[in-house]
Amino acid sequence: MENKGTILMQRYELGKLLGQGTFAKVHHGRNLKTGTSVAIKIIDKEKVFKVGMINQIKREISVMRMVRHPNVVELYEVMASKTKIYFVMEYVKGGELFNKVAKGKLKEDAARKYFQQLISAVDYCHSRGVFHRDLKPENLLLDENENLKVSDFGLSALAESKHQDGLLHTTCGTPAYVAPEVINRKGYDGSKADIWSCGVILYVLLAGYLPFHDSNLMEMYRKIGKADFKFPNWFSPEVRRLLTKILDPNPCTRISIAKIMENSWFCKGLEKPITFETEGRELNPLDADAVFSANESNTLVVESKNELVAAKPCNLNAFDIISFSAGFDLSGLFEERDRKKEERFTSNKAASTIISKLEDIARRLRLTVKKKDGGLLKMEGCKEGRKGVLGIDAEIFEITPFFHLVEVKKSSGDTLEYQKVMKQDIRPALKDIVWTWQGEQQQLALPPPPPPE
């Protein structure tokens, strides 16, 4: 199935081999529908099972689905067969940043540009609760415009991986780039550890060699633990000051990303603060378990970013009602319900009662009801979030005069903020008018009887 010219699941043509590791191969591919070039990472399930790497692969799927940033390699979709898992990713044809460094040190302006893009990507990952934990030049790719792209989230951790002490405890990463607190195995802050790795990368870009290196691994660990390194004579005073703050062996006093982004050396050449558009690019997290359950009779294509977009009918017919019900909703195979950007519930209340309830919730959450056309309510916050003002739409569909389907979805703003508001505020406040939430029943429920007159 991995030979050049193979058609993969009637969706992609498999091209030349780009790279190969112990458990995976990466091929160039072409989308048969659009002609777009992609990179297809092919993972052997049997090898993954044998070495106990299932959780690592699941984590990589979940993490890449959460992170959408111009300096992070984009995951388009995941597919699986009985024996293989396929990651279809953005094709970054400029190769590894490592290849540039291997030829010698970079000029300061070039190193700064890559470092600025790296910090922007890492800052965004941390804002989503994602810590990479294996940052190094080999995992930083360059596109045709010389823009940096962070890749390989196989060792990444999510915020929920933290122990009760709030720290991560898995020793991982590449030794020369690993923070001292990771080596000490006493628990560490994933964001602080990533900052250290970014500092080592900046040093390597400017020097052409590693700050901590020794043929004896224990001696190298000693040097890392004490931040025992020297600056080449061509390092400017500004760079030296910044790197001293980043390569601080004490994570408690190590500089934060926010402070790095305020640093005068870092800010040189930045015409404006690093921003990016992600609205409309965020995806619902994938059900990573699904890729391990595909068998010979069930070749699985996990949701693509451009597909499975549900239509939103104004008037429901019998097919619409069935397709919205949990028993017939195939999206449950691929998505985690509590992370969706839209949720649906049925109610045995009159439309006026539902509208009144939603307006009451909006008032309590200090959301303004901007628009009310028929069964559509548009609610907006008054404060600017990380990605603009939070907007929530609620659309009511009448099935019978006393049985309605209500769809609640995020129309603008940050998805994680929306999910938090839904879980902590909106869902609990709706409990007295909800008949059932979609996904919390196993079969199509009959409408309840109308209330007594």
Between CA 262 and CA 215 the distance in angstroms is 37
Name beta bridge partners: 72. Answer: 150
Between CA 82 and CA 333 the distance in angstroms is 16
Between CA 65 and CA 74 the distance in angstroms is 8
Q: Which position among 44, 109, 123, 134 bears the catalytic label?
A: 134
Secondary structure element (H or E) that encloses residue 205, with its range = helix 190-207
Name beta bridge partners: 346. Answer: 405, 436
Cα Rg, the chain, nearest whole Å: 25
Nearest in space to 288 (alpha carbons), one of 166, 154, 415: 154
Per-residue tokens: 272 = 């404006």
Residue with tokens 């429901």: 316
Alpha helices by DSSP H, listed for 350-432, are 351-364, 415-421, 427-429
> Does the active-site annotation cover 134?
yes
Report whether 387 belongs to an annotated binding site.
no
CA atoms in the 13 A half-sphere facing the CB of 416: 12
Task: Residue 250: count other Cβ atoms within 10 Å of its Cβ.
Answer: 10
Secondary structure element (H or E) that encloses residue 321, with its range = helix 318-324
Between CA 351 and CA 334 the distance in angstroms is 32
Nearest in space to 101 (alpha carbons), one of 11, 200, 29: 200
Instruction: Detail the residues annotated as belonging to a binding site.
Output: 41
Instruction: Detail the residues annotated as belonging to a binding site for ATP.
Output: 41
Which residues are known catalytic residues? 134
